[in-house]
Structure 1
C-alpha cells in the first residue's frame, strides 16, 4: 500500500531555540543539565556502563536523578538502554551515534571548563570583593 500523499511531503522543521514553543529547548535542557552533561561525557569514555557504575562514578547524583536523566537522554535518542536476559537482569547504557556526536561537543565544553576553572574562580573572588 503506498504512503498517503501527505506523508510524502511532511518535513521535519529545523529547531529555533529562541522560539518559546520550540522543542529544542527541552532537548537542550536534557543535554546541558548538571547530570545529563556528566552522563554523556562519561559514556563517551567507555563503550557502556551499568547503572550502579554510573552512580558510583558521578559523585553526588542520587539514584532518582540518575534514572530520570538516563530516561530523558534515552527518549531523546542519545542513550541506548540494553537489557540482557539474565537473572537478575543486567542493564547497560551506551551512546547512540547521535549521542556520541553530542557527547563529543559536550566533552569539548567540559574540558574547557576544567582547564579554566582557576580563572573563573579568581574572577568570582575579585567580583565578590568589589561587591562587599
Structure 2
C-alpha cells in the first residue's frame, strides 16, 4: 500500500485526528503484524469535501435557515391575535382596561420572544454552522 502522508493538507489531517482512536483500535485488532500501519490507514479515512458536497451543504443551510425563520410569521400572527383580543375585551368591559392591558403586554412579550428565538436560530444556522 502506498504512503499517503503527502497527499493531504493540514486541515484534512486535523479532521482525521478526531477519528484516530476508534480507527486505530479497530485496525490493530484485525490487521496482522506485518500489515497496514495505523497512520496510513488513518489518512485513508480523511474526510473529503468536494465542490458538489459544499454546494449541497450550503443549500441545506439556506433551507434550514429559511425554515427556522418561518416562526417569525407565527409570532406576528400571535401578536395580532393578542391585541385583537384586547380590543374586543375592552369593548365588552371597559372597566377592566388596566388588567386586560397587562395581560396583553404579557402575551405580546411571550409571542415576540418565540419569534426572536426563531430568528436567532436562523442566524445561528447561517453563520455559526
Q: Which structure has the larger Rg over C-alpha atoms?
A: 2
In the superposition, the TM-score normalised over structure 2's length comes to 0.26
Greater share of strand: 1
Which one has more relative contact order, counting CA pairs under 8 Å at least 6 apart?
Answer: 2
Greater share of helix: 2
In the superposition, the TM-score normalised over structure 1's length comes to 0.25
